[in-house]
Chain A
Amino acid sequence: MTLLLSATGISKRFGGLLAIDNVNLAVPKAAIHAIIGPNGAGKTTLFNCLTSFVKPSAGEIYLNGARIDGLRPDLVASHGIARTYQNIRLFPDLTAIENIMVGLDAKSPESLLGALFATPAHHRKVRDTIARATALLAAVGLVGRGDRLARHLPYGDQRRLEIARAMSIDPVLLLLDEPAAGMNPVESHAMLELIRRLRDEFGLTIILIEHQMRVVMGISERITVLDHGACIAEGTPAEIRENSAVIAAYLGARAAKHGMDALERQG
């Protein structure tokens, strides 16, 4: 089993606050890996470190054997890491399909002169881009909504569009930040199916942050648990469910005896 992503000793300090403290992350190819933890545990900060939104204070990150920590975010993206955001960050005044085309264009830019003089090659390229964008829209279940402004899409569709846009740069690693946040059980189940399909059909490796235990336990092969910036547990869902440190972190030490099952039932 070859590792796609390997991050060792990642720390991030904001002034006096140690947001992430010596976290290790090893994710094999085509895995679905979850990162969980209470609010403020440093999950999103870890994502930000992986994508170079912030520079880690210490540690090394390798993707497919190439070191990527400290690179400019656009170069990290060209190495094949794409992400979505906890608070949806689409390009609100662009249409759904344009949101995706931005990523497609960035991956393989068209010739500027071709665009200026509307050459046949340019038209072919545009047709191709539109076809690929339409296919991506279809892949996340947004058929026929390409012409709507992103800001006018319903909430669930915006989450799906964000995933499609992330897919547009043809990544090897997809980071999903709370993809099922704010969704009802039916919607989050559909999201779960979508994530699984992305892995199976596109061979993607997926790391997701998620609060809904039903989603996390149902989909991930391995789970990393963060609390106060530190990794307190790592293992399969079954191991995490039994881990007393995790239960204590989530529910407080006294409630630990009721176990993780209660939390899972709450969703």
Chain B
Amino acid sequence: MEGQTTLTRRSKVTGLQDAARRARDALRERPDLCLGGLFKQGRPVALVRGLLAVGAKGLHIYSSPGAGYDVDLMIAAGAVEQVFIPGVTLENRLCPNFRSAVEAGQVTAHALDALTVVGGLMASAHGVPFQPIDALRGSDVLKHNPLIREIDCPFSGRRIHAVGPIRPRVTFLHAQEADRWGNLRHLSTMVYADQLMARASDMVIASVDRIVPDEVILDDPSRVTVPSHYVDAVVEVPYGAHPTASFPNYAMDEDHIDAYADLGDAARAGDRAGLDAYIARHVTGPKDQEDYIKTVGGAEYLAQLNAETRKG
């Protein structure tokens, strides 16, 4: 055995900036980026900011069927060309930069529905050429949806729909915990479409609130939501989902998102100064997550969001 190197298992833990550069380079080959979570829950926002900071352009954005803040921010930063997400909203108000960019023709927002997106991810995850869908009728979305075709069901003969595989080049996920090998544990109530996306994508990069010892995973394997087999890199990022929620660790920061939306509305009305300052302060400015936390109010402010998840 003399002269041979002993191989050891490789940790998938990396830094935020390294992960962002890796994603950017992969997305230059094919611009399909998919984001985990749903609306203001469990979104990988630190990874999104990291990607914007290292300069991504011309992205095609996928997500679970509902998204808001992060997609709007990526559009505000000029990184997006096409949106493949059925519902884009902040829920209590509309997404200002998404709307402005679509109205101005700068971004194409495809008309889609939840089953097309979930079915396309299912086809990709399962390795089959298409997923049949038999629950789409009467909507004008069907006239415009670019991802579906009408087919004859080989069993009933009925006209149904088929969606081909959606294969993101890169998927960003946020989970509460992982070990150093990239086994993810969502402690949140919902796991959204994160497990499906992990299996459907070429490259998966996850942020987690904390890296846990190997024993935590080995002692309770049924608690692992995404096995490390599907994960390429994992980054420990405190408040990595902020301003969205990472239940049960912290709630969504509604005040922050509202203030952002006000700046977006001002930009929509013609005054972009506030929005540009926001991007400089929170996205391109901070040199790391610690720095970011300072710009959004500091650890004491964010601790209030921890407490908020425990209110009944």
Chains A and B bind each other: no
Name B residues whose Cβ lies closer than 8 Å to a Cβ of A.
none
Name A residues whose Cβ lies closer than 8 Å to a Cβ of B.
none
